[in-house]
Amino acid sequence: MKKLLGVTLGIMTALGGFVDLGQIVFTMQAGALFGYGLLWSILLGTAAIIVYMEMCGRVAVVAHEPVFAVVRDRFGFRFGLVVLIASNLLNLATCAAELGGIAIILQLLTGWDEKLLLLIAAIILGMIVFGFKFQWIERAFGLAGVTMTVFAVSAAALHPNWHQLARGLIPTLAHSDTKHALLYWYFAVGIFSALLMEYEVHFYSSGAIEEDWTTRDLGENFAVAGFGSFLGAIITTGLLVLGALVFLPRGIFPNALSTSILAGAFPFAAKALLLALLGTLACLCGAALETALSGAYNVCQFFNLDWGKNLPVKSAPVYTAVWITMITVAFAIGLSGVRPLTLVNISVIFGMVVMPFTYYPILRVAADKNIMGKHVNGLADTIVGIIFLGLITIAASAAIPLMILTQSGEP
């Protein structure tokens, strides 16, 4: 039973990372524009996050080093501090976007004022972090987020053309014009980035230490990284298919969360709408909590301060202060009127820019026999890691130019 419950760490991390606000809307928009043509980017991103999530979990268990301790040690204090600031600004933007998305869903459910619901959401999330231990937070939202499979079920119920879907596993190099090509690669980079968002591995490696994993849990680490990411990829594929089947034939570009959620219930009408709303709500809450806690983990790990959700507040005052600040500032950003989808575009694209500086040190430590001993990367692990790091670096270089040239993906 303990092993079974432990898998929920991977489920929550995957569903809060794969299926957050950005992934829901971004992936459906890609399907609405290009049909199944970007399915390959989901496959590529899923393989990459499985490889690096497993590595960072193994490093946390064997070397007892979470991600930002690794970043500090490999890049030095000054450059590491730059990476820390950039990563936490991205965490903050993502947390604000998730809070805004939560308020939108609560408004759809209740009809109340959105700003009031934003305040209620921030307070409730804060109370959850204060009142529950790490294990129960991850398990509650991990299992609740599984209801997002309604999107995959809805996509299958619409009977996609499986032959055309399989063709989407191969990138398209021929495009009708330059604008079409730029949009195609913008969404490819965006989907790839959203699948690899840094807070996923920040939260995951910290969670492995919170749960006191040992080398006996390395098999569980592999299963958690693989199963959680695979489940997230199935749901993400469902989102892409719904975009292709519901919006593309009708010439609709879904630029609102409410529109995207309706697609999840399309084949079943009202019967599935509540399930789609609640599943999305669970995932957005999980993502908001992950980003807020990741911000606190990052700061304390970088400056070598006491941290941990399960520690008393007096034992980890900076940790507590940082996650409270993250939620409070995220609420203030949402209250200012900035649209959640604007924040999503910022976090996904700029997250790609910072990404190499998160994954490179993880690869270096995982491949260092002096640190990892018999649990060091095999040759195949290192080669695959280098290939994905190369792809991450290329995507990072292209992210901002593509955002500018496509005006953040405007069709």
Query: How confident is the model at residue 225, as a pLDDT?
Result: 83
Query: How confident is the model at residue 220, as a pLDDT?
Result: 79
**pTM of structure:** 0.92
Residue 199: inside a domain: yes
Query: How confident is the model at residue 42, as a pLDDT?
Result: 96
Range of the domain at 34: 2-89+134-280+341-406
Query: How confident is the model at residue 158, as a pLDDT?
Result: 94
Residue 167: inside a domain: yes
Residue 41: inside a domain: yes
Treating both helix axes as pointing N-terminal to C-terminal, what angle do 67-75 and 77-110 enclose, rounded to 10 degrees? 150
Cα pseudo-dihedral 138, 232, 105, 325, rounded to 10: 50
Residue 308: inside a domain: no
Residue 240: inside a domain: yes
- Domain tally for the chain? 1
- Across the chain, which has 411 residues, the per-10-residue mean pLDDT values are 55 61 88 96 95 94 89 91 94 94 94 95 94 77 78 94 94 87 95 90 88 85 83 92 96 90 84 87 90 95 91 91 97 92 88 94 94 95 96 96 92 85
140 φ/ψ angles, rounded to the nearest 5 degrees: -65, -50
Residue 265: inside a domain: yes
Biggest CA pair distance of the chain: 61
Query: How confident is the model at residue 17, as a pLDDT?
Result: 55
Residue 64: inside a domain: yes
Residue 286: inside a domain: no
